[in-house]
Amino acid sequence: MIGSRSVTLVGAVLGGPDHDTVDSSVRTLLASAVAGFSELTVPAGTVFGGYATRWDATAQAVTAEAATFLVWGPEAVGAAPALDAVVTAAAGDAVGSVTLSTPRETAEVPLVLDAALPDPGAEWRWTHPGR
């Protein structure tokens, strides 16, 4: 087990003079391979974009849930966000998604607003014609 995941490793040790030497070499090889793996988590609430209205309301597009990846060595998680056009919305409304990926795994995680983008109201509209 590596973190919360079961991993199957396949390898070979050749040319050992006896079973004890081969067994020891296999244990060393497995330990070094396992040490190279780790779990990387992109937590819920990670920011992948933002919105700003003409009436100075702002909100960020954040991950609605966490995503965990098994990585090898210095691998990183790549991200490709896709944000919807939003003018007004409530906190928690869906505003797109982000595709998170490693060389072995991909996950699409929904993005939501961390704050409301309220309607500016009649007064703002009256004092800002044409906007």
What confidence tens digit (pLDDT) does each residue in 48-80 have? 999 999 999 999 999 999 999 999 888 889 999
- Can you tell me the distance from the alpha carbon of 6 to that of 129, in angstroms, rounded to the nearest whole number? 61
Q: Compute the average pLDDT of residues 32-53.
A: 93
CATH of 39-127, one of 3.30.70, 1.10.10, 2.30.29, 2.60.410: 2.60.410
Q: Compute the average pLDDT of residues 36-50.
A: 94
pTM for the structure as a whole: 0.82
- Can you tell me the distance from the alpha carbon of 94 to that of 46, in angstroms, rounded to the nearest whole number? 14
Would you list the domain boundaries of the chain?
39-127
